[in-house]
Amino acid sequence: MPGLVNVVVIVAVVAIVIARQFRARAIGTERRWWLLPVILAVVSLREPGILDAHHRAESAVLLVGELFIGLVTGLGWGWTTRIWTAPDGVVWTRSSKASGAVWIAGIALRAGVFALGSALGVHRDSSALLLGLAGTLLVRGGVLAFRAQSLGAPSHPAPSRPAPAYGDDERSAWKERV
C-alpha cells in the first residue's frame, strides 16, 4: 500500500508542478519554498524499501544516480525559468521552453535509471523516485529564491528588463503581461 500512496503523491505533485510552471505567477522571497521538498523527502525516507535488500550496492548506486539526476534537473529548471520584476516590485516567474526540455530530459534519464535497474534485477521502490523529485523541487526552489532575491530586494531598484534565462529570447519575455 505505501508504494501505491507514493505513486499517487508523485503523480499529484508532478501534475500540480507542471500545471503551474508554464503560467506566470508571483513568487515571494520569504516563502517556504523548501517545505514541500522536505515533506516529500521525509515521506520517501521513512519507507523501508528504498534500497533492495538483495542488491544493496547496486540499489544504492541507482539511488545516488536518481538523486544526481534530480539535483541536475532542478538546477537546470531553476536557471531556465524566466524571472522578472514588475513595476510594483513583485517578482514574477514563468518556465520557458528550455525548462520544458529540461523536464523531458530529466524524465528520460530517470526512465533510463529504471531500465538499468530492471536489467540488473534490482527492485526499485517508488520512494527512490519520490526522493529524486524532492531533490528536483528543492534545488529549483533554491535557485528561484536566489534569483528572486537578487531582483526583488527592497534595497535595489526594480530592473527595467526581465532577467534572462537560458534559452530565453528577449521578444517572448517582453510580450508577457502581468
Task: Name 104's Cβ contacts closer than 8 Å, sequence gap at least 6.
Answer: none
More confident residue, 53 or 160: 53
Residue 66's alpha-carbon distances to 27, 89, 142, in angstroms, are 28, 38, 19
Tell me the residue range of the domain where 80 lies.
2-10+33-175
> What's the pLDDT score for residue 148?
87
Mean pLDDT (whole number) for 15-42: 82
Structure confidence at residue 83 (pLDDT): 92
Examine residue 108 and state whether it is found in any structural domain, yes or no: yes
50 belongs to a structural domain? yes
**Per the domain annotation, does 170 fall within a domain?**
yes
**Tens of pLDDT along 56-109?**
888 889 999 999 999 999 999 999 999 998 888 888 899 999 998 998 999 999
Residue 174 has pLDDT above 80, yes or no: no
With respect to residue 85, please indicate whether it lies within any of the assigned structural domains.
yes
The verdict on residue 16 lying in a domain is: no
* Whether residue 171 has pLDDT greater than 50: no
The mean pLDDT of 2-14, rounded to a whole number, is 75
The pLDDT of 148-160, averaged and rounded, is: 58
Give the mean pLDDT of the chain: 81
Q: Which residue has the higher pLDDT, 41 or 124?
A: 41
Is position 27 within any domain? no
Average pLDDT over residues 132-150: 91
51, 63 contact by CB (below 8 A): yes
Q: Which of 48, 69, 47, 46 is nearest to 116 (CA)?
A: 69
> Which cell numbers in the block locate residue 145?
529564491
Its pTM stands at 0.77
The structural domain count of the chain equals 1
The reported pLDDT for the residue numbered 67 is 95
Residue 173 scores a pLDDT above 80: no
- Confidence (pLDDT) at 166: 60
